[in-house]
């Protein structure tokens, strides 16, 4: 009886679950959200502002079932605001009124400036980007605003696979006039697969070429062969030198001075000497290892998982992969610092943890200050800054500590192939 009751409850919950842009599955007549993102000059894509910074008005619909924003959206300056347009899945919408606006002097100057600078805007439907132009100016210097938006949405089964926007109905921009903004929605079946819906946004001239895998594999194997051959030659040449350098403790000063040393061999006892600033050096090496691992993993994930199909997914993946690979930084940086006889390993661990994030955050702070001054959408919200700080304090720092402890215990003992001179060899004067 209990099992049957539990099955009924689970089934009822399952039937009540609705899809949305989070899982990209919709039911008939379900709400489809049109997000308004940014607006800015076409010739400077980095200069963007909030869509409603221009005197555009929202639709009559004021409530929404869900919101959709991630940490990467906030960092990248994506400011999604609900358009207020009533759009339902597979429901055609004839031309309907959005709002009516009185053009006063302030609105006229704002829209005139936008048309003069070729302002364009961006919107999203089910994570698919849409672009449109604000208006245009004719040869007689009359300004016009596009007031009608026609959406053609393609669907395959219960998923949206294509979105097109057509701007229609030019209205002359004059002070004291009234502008009526309208929209319509047309749904059309499509044979495009959901996994292929982003193909039209890719560069066709680049992706139409066939990849010659055999040539790539052949070149890769040739490089490996040449690297191995050169390594074998070097090892055979330097093997005797390594053996002699490792036994230098048994030689007297006369034998060392009479050794067959020339060129770079004269400084073999100074190569592995501790750096002048071991804390900075080991932190840079550890951060370099971590960034190399992060770059490799993100590239592999992008190839396997098609991260470009989700807005901000590459940046989100990079942030969390960087946080997860913090032990790599601690291991290589901490072990190198220990091999160089460093004493303040806690200070090195803290410095290594904060080195790269502080550089990025410092640069972002300066850019953010400029963005706030100009009221641009690139300004990062304070809550997003707190989220990044929390990741650094509660994720990256503990993992870096774990990596540092492992590095000191497992690879912190010096194991150099030759003896290190107690006194640095003097550099001969140039003749």
pLDDT digits (tens, 9 = 90+) for 337-380: 999 988 899 999 999 999 999 999 889 888 888 888 888 877 88
The mean pLDDT of the chain is 83
- What separation, in Å, do the N-terminal and C-terminal C-alpha atoms of the chain show? 99
Nearest to 92 by CA among 189, 194, 193: 189
Mean pLDDT, range 265-294, rounded to an integer:
89
For residue 349, the number of C-alpha atoms closer than 13 Å in the C-beta half-sphere is 25
pLDDT digits (tens, 9 = 90+) for 303-314: 887 776 677 788
In this structure, of 3-17, 91-105, 131-145, 417-431, the range with the lowest mean pLDDT score is 3-17
Mean pLDDT, range 384-403, rounded to an integer:
92
* Whole-number pLDDT of residue 3: 40
Task: Compute the distance between CA of residue 295 and CA of residue 61 in angstroms, rounded to an integer.
Answer: 44
pLDDT at residue 210 is higher than 70: no
| Better-predicted residue by pLDDT, 124 or 210 | 124
| Better-predicted residue by pLDDT, 372 or 297 | 297
Would you give the distance in Å from CA 189 to the centre of its chain?
Answer: 33
Domain chopping of the chain, boundaries: 19-202, 275-412
Nearest to 384 by CA among 333, 312, 321, 324: 312
Beta strands 135-137 and 128-133: pairing type? unpaired
pLDDT at residue 288 is higher than 70: yes
* Whole-number pLDDT of residue 314: 87
Nearest to 47 by CA among 103, 111, 119: 119
Mean pLDDT, range 28-32, rounded to an integer:
90
* Whole-number pLDDT of residue 75: 79
* Whole-number pLDDT of residue 216: 86
pLDDT at residue 254 is higher than 60: no
pLDDT at residue 115 is higher than 60: yes
pLDDT digits (tens, 9 = 90+) for 8-28: 333 333 333 344 566 788 999
Work out the pLDDT band at 43, boundaries 50, 70, 90.
confident
């Amino acid at each position: 009886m209990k099992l049957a009751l539990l099955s009924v409850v689970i089934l009822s919950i399952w039937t009540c679950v609705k899809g949305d842009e989070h899982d990209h599955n919709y039911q008939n007549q379900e709400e489809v959200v049109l997000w308004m993102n940014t607006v800015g000059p076409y010739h400077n894509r980095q200069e963007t502002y909030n869509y409603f910074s221009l005197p555009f008005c929202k639709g009559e619909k004021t409530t929404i079932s869900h919101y959709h924003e991630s940490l990467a959206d906030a960092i990248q300056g994506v400011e999604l605001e609900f358009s207020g347009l009533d759009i339902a899945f597979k429901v055609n919408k004839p031309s309907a009124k959005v709002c009516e606006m009185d053009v006063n002097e302030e609105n006229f100057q704002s829209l005139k400036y936008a048309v003069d600078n070729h302002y364009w805007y961006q919107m999203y439907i089910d994570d698919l980007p849409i672009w449109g132009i604000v208006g245009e100016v004719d040869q007689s210097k009359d300004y016009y605003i596009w007031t009608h938006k026609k959406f053609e949405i393609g669907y395959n089964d219960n998923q949206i696979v294509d979105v097109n926007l057509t701007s229609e109905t030019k209205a002359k921009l004059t002070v004291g006039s009234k502008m009526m903004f309208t929209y319509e929605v047309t749904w059309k079946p499509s044979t495009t697969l959901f996994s292929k819906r982003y193909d039209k946004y890719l560069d066709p001239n680049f992706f139409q070429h066939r990849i010659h895998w055999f040539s790539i594999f052949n070149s890769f194997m040739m490089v490996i062969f040449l690297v191995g051959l050169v390594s074998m030659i070097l090892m055979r040449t330097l093997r005797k030198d390594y053996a002699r350098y490792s036994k230098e403790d048994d030689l007297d000063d006369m034998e060392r001075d009479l050794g067959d040393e020339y060129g770079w061999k004269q400084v073999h006892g100074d190569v592995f000497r501790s750096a002048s600033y071991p804390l900075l050096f080991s932190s840079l090496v550890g951060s370099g290892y971590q960034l190399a691992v992060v770059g490799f993993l993100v590239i592999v994930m992008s190839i396997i998982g098609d991260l470009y199909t989700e807005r901000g997914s590459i940046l989100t993946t990079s942030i969390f992969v960087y946080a997860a690979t913090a032990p790599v930084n601690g291991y290589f940086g901490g072990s190198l610092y220990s091999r160089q006889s460093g004493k303040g390993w806690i200070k090195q661990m803290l410095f290594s943890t904060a080195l790269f994030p502080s550089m990025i955050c410092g640069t972002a702070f300066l850019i953010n200050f400029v963005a706030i001054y100009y009221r641009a959408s690139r300004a990062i919200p304070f809550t997003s800054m707190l989220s990044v700080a929390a990741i650094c304090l509660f994720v990256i720092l503990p993992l870096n500590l774990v990596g540092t402890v492992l590095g000191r215990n497992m690879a912190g003992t010096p194991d150099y192939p030759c003896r290190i001179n107690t006194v640095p060899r003097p550099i001969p004067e140039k003749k």
